[in-house]
Amino acid sequence: MAERPEGSAAGSNKPALQLHVPEPRFRPGDAADFSHLAIPAAGQQPRPDEACHASETAPLCYDLVRVLGDDNQAHGPWDPKLDPDTLRTMLGHMVLVRAFDERMFRGQRQGKTSFYMKCTGEEATSVAAGMALASDDMVFPSYRQQGILIARGYPLVEMINQIYSNKGDKLKGRQLPIMYSSREHSFFSISGNLATQCPQAVGWAMASAIKGDSRIAASWVGEGSTAEGDFHSACTFATVYNAPVILNVINNQWAISSFSGFAGAERTTFAARALGYGLAGLRVDGNDALAVFAAQQWAANRARANGGPTLIEYFTYRAEGHSTSDDPSAYRSVQEGIDWPLGDPIARLRNHLIALGEWDEERHAAMDLAAAERVKEATREAEKNGILGHGLHHPFRTMFEDVFEELPWHLKEQAAQATRERLIKFPEGRPNS
Amino acid sequence: MIEAINEALDIMLARDPDVVVMGEDVGYFGGVFRATAGLQAKHGKTRVFDTPISECGIIGVAVGMGAYGLRPVPEIQFADYIYPGLDQLISEAARLRYRSACDYIAPLTVRSPFGGGIFGGQTHSQSPEAIFTHVSGLKTVIPSNPYDAKGLLISAIEDNDPVIFFEPKRIYNGPFTGYYDKPVEPWKRHKDSVVPEGHYRVPLGKARTVTEGDALTVLAYGTMVHVAEAVCAAKGVDAHILDLRTLVPLDIEAIEQSVERTGRCLIVHEATRTSGFGAELSALVTERCFYHLEAPVERVTGFDTPYPHSLEWAYFPGPIRIGEAIDKLLKD
């Protein structure tokens, strides 16, 4: 072993090194206090030209783009100036997403399916962002962007068929609930492996550019998953090839039980990561549907004009558990959800419409009721196709199809075995064998 | 063989506007093994291009391009460096068709030089095919000569499933018999070096009979086809040598027909032994040809160690190891 330089021998006067292990501010039972969060007033953030150099977005990476103020009015240069009909449509989608989540969560508790994930509190980050894109722009979502499907008019019955893995499920019962896919709606197949969709979105955007197309791509990833290597690859490839892509990061503060500090949030923002790659970056109030729409639209215009990729951090809060398999009261304070300083995205948009004189409590209550009724109706319809484990599933042979384009000999042999086993188990035969 | 691969890429780039070739150093420079030489100048920078040094990124963007409708042919510079891309290959490319019920497909062909015999040490010699044959949804293809390399690569690129295309770099410039102290022959003196011009296919999933014989069946692929052939010739053994060419899907019929006739089976691969593809072959032969077997199935493989540098020829499954296995198989 080499000798240490003089004065640095073990036991000299230097302090012992300490490993820093991040710790969230509030644990179960703690009162929440968000006074440390600098929440700027709405309308204070400049809106650079969409064609600007990426470095000009640097201040916005540490700021928070906000449009809806405490007075429920839209403020500043990021106001997308949407007409009341569009705002009501946006509100309607968000209300429907929440009603859908409520019902599906209950469905899981009733044993109709194995699993569900809500997006409560994050509805704006998928609905408003999705509405800012063209319907044929390709989206690469994570598992918490059901709002995009709903905003794109994907039938609720199809969503529920997938969640129940029944005989109506277009994915033939192969995928865990909520891992939707719809080519028709330019909604990429959801994977359980985190952040893999980020470089895929970049590749899709590169392909669009190779072919001289006009469509762009957008991906969504949670702040926790930005720690994956794929996220780094996506940022690098996006900037190297100036790919027409938007990399959305939903910073909802929690990755299951790990607070955002474990993804690096103690020292910087997720938007600021854009700067090191040479990407344009925006940090946005994720519970402000107008700001979300405006930011996504800014990035989409930039991408469409060959201005290049943008990384957007939507600052929000995961208001419920990670999934039906998770109990957040085991690791975080109940109070922090209640006191979250950016409020609730649905309430804020509703109050804005009311302040504009374009909405009222009665109509909103009716919208809530209609959404619940629509979901109930769709659930009833989907249940005709069966619920998980009740026999109404796709035939056994479909388990072997689509592994490859054609069935090779070994899968043919295994399919025959599965059918044989089923006949032994149910000699009298059963539907869908 | 490198020229045959280059020709296959050139032909497919010209035939199909959706084919793109990408990877580290494949663009302007033409690849560290010259497989893509001249292709960028001919087909343009948006069809043949260099990438950042990120295997996860290369495979990941290729999956996205496939979802768009392109037919990407990414190169991984050495098979030893494919591991950072494994999540994208195993979790994404291999399962995309299945999990989306054909909404999206991943028609990639991942080319990668593989195998040893070049003093490549630990990270330029590996044969990781068994990692891929274990993944449902991937096809694994390994050519052993210029004719097959071109025809199989064209088939792989045209195939709608993701294909891992391993190119034995030891035989890029000429066949290698394992007699490392003898001078290396160039391809031009080899019978399989005649490569027709233009487009032709060698079908995936079909083995090739290298030599006809009745004494035993040899199952091999890549470089080891030539080594096995040379050893059998040197020993005067009347072997039926099958070059498997495609590991998944496997040509099980050709294997069964041969072993049922010869009653003896030798499996040869460079990759490490435990859980190598030879184990799968041995199990299949035992299960399906048991009553025809006159001796236990033999496996000649690399040892279960990382690939060494200085002791390369002690590691490599060469003529002595193969010869002993043949003697054992034929002893009664």
Q: What is the pLDDT along chain A (433 residues), one digit of tens a residue?
A: 566 666 556 666 789 999 999 999 999 999 999 999 989 999 999 999 999 999 999 999 999 999 999 999 999 999 999 999 999 999 999 999 999 999 999 999 999 999 999 999 999 999 999 999 999 999 999 999 999 999 999 999 999 999 999 999 999 999 999 999 999 999 999 999 999 999 999 999 999 999 999 999 999 999 999 999 999 999 999 999 999 999 999 999 999 999 999 999 999 999 999 999 999 999 999 999 999 999 999 999 999 999 999 999 999 999 999 999 999 999 999 999 999 999 999 999 999 999 999 999 999 999 999 999 999 999 999 999 999 988 888 988 999 999 999 999 999 999 999 989 988 888 876 655 4
Our CA-based measurement puts residue A115 at a distance from the nearest CA of chain B, in whole angstroms, of 17
CB contact under 8 A, A208 and B103: no
Q: Catalytic residue among B43, B124, B226, B269, which?
A: B124
Q: Nearest Cβ partner of A189 from B87, B99, B205?
A: B99
Angle at CA of residue B219, ends B180 and B279, nearest 5°: 100
**Per the CB < 8 Å rule, is A171 touching B65?**
no
Judged by CB atoms closer than 8 Å, whether chains meet at A203 and B250 is answered as: no
CA distance B48 to B9: 10
Nearest CB to A188: which of B52, B67, B91? B67
Q: Which residues of A touch B84 (CB under 8 A)?
A: 229
**Residue of B67, B87, B159 with shortest CB distance to A193:** B87
User: In chain B, what residues touch A172 (CB-CB under 8 Å)?
Assistant: 101
Provide the 10 A C-beta neighbour count for residue A80. Answer: 21
Nearest-neighbour CA in chain B from A44: distance (Å): 37
d(CA A231, CA B56): 10
pLDDT of B193 reads 83
Q: Do B104 and A403 touch (CB under 8 A)?
A: no
CA B79, CA B167: separation in Å to the nearest integer? 9
The reported pLDDT for the residue numbered B332 is 72
Q: Tell me the shortest Cα–Cα distance from A187 to chain B, in angstroms.
A: 10
Cβ neighbours of A138 in B, within 8 Å: 67-68
Specify burial of residue A338 (Cβ count, 10 A radius: 0-12, 13-18, 19+): exposed
Compute the distance between CA of residue A227 and CA of residue A93 in angstroms, rounded to an integer.
Answer: 31
Q: Which residue of B has its CA nearest to A233?
A: B57
Chain B contact for A363 (CB, 8 A cutoff): no
Asked if the Cβ–Cβ distance from B64 to A408 is below 8 Å, we say no
**B57, B161, B248 member nearest A199 (Cβ):** B57
* Radius of gyration for the alpha carbons in chain B, expressed in angstroms and rounded: 19
Q: Does A140 touch chain B (CB under 8 A)?
A: yes
Q: Of A141, A403, A417, which is closest to residue B162 (Cα–Cα)?
A: A403
Between A196, A198, A203, which is nearest B87 by CB? A196
A214 and B CB contact within 8 Å: no
Long-range interactions of B80-84: CB distance < 8 A, separation 24+: B80/B114, B80/B122, B80/B123, B80/B124, B80/B125, B80/B126, B80/B128, B81/B55, B81/B123, B82/B55, B82/B110, B82/B112, B82/B128, B83/B55, B83/B128, B84/A229, B84/B54, B84/B55, B84/B56
C-beta atoms surrounding A374 within 10 Å: 15
Closest Cα in chain A to B248? A408
- A229 to chain B nearest CA, in Å? 8
Predicted local distance difference test score (pLDDT) of residue A1: 53
Low-confidence stretches of chain B (pLDDT < 70) are none
SS3 labels along chain A: CCCCCCCCCCCCCCCCCCCCCCCCCCCCCCCCCCCCCCCCCCCCCCCCCCCCCHHHHHHHHHCCECCECCCCCECCCCCCCCCHHHHHHHHHHHHHHHHHHHHHHHHHHCCCCCCCCCCCCCHHHHHHHHHCCCCCCEEECCCCCHHHHHHCCCCHHHHHHHHHCCCCCCCCCCCCCCCCCEHHHCECCCCCCCCCHHHHHHHHHHHHHHCCCCCCEEEEEECHHHHCHHHHHHHHHHHHCCCCEEEEEEECCEECCEEHHHHCCCCCCCCCHHHHHCCEEEEEECCCHHHHHHHHHHHHHHHHCCCCCEEEEEECCCCCCCCCCCCHHHCCCHHHHHHCCCCCHHHHHHHHHHHCCCCCHHHHHHHHHHHHHHHHHHHHHHHCCCCCCCCCCCCHHHHCCCCCCCCCHHHHHHHHHHHHHHHHHCCCCCCCC
To the query of whether residue B124 is one of the catalytic residues in this protein, the response is yes
Angle between helices A289-304 and A123-131 (to 10 degrees): 40
ipTM above 0.90, yes or no: yes
| Prediction pTM value | 0.97
Distance of CA A85 to the CA centre of its chain: 25
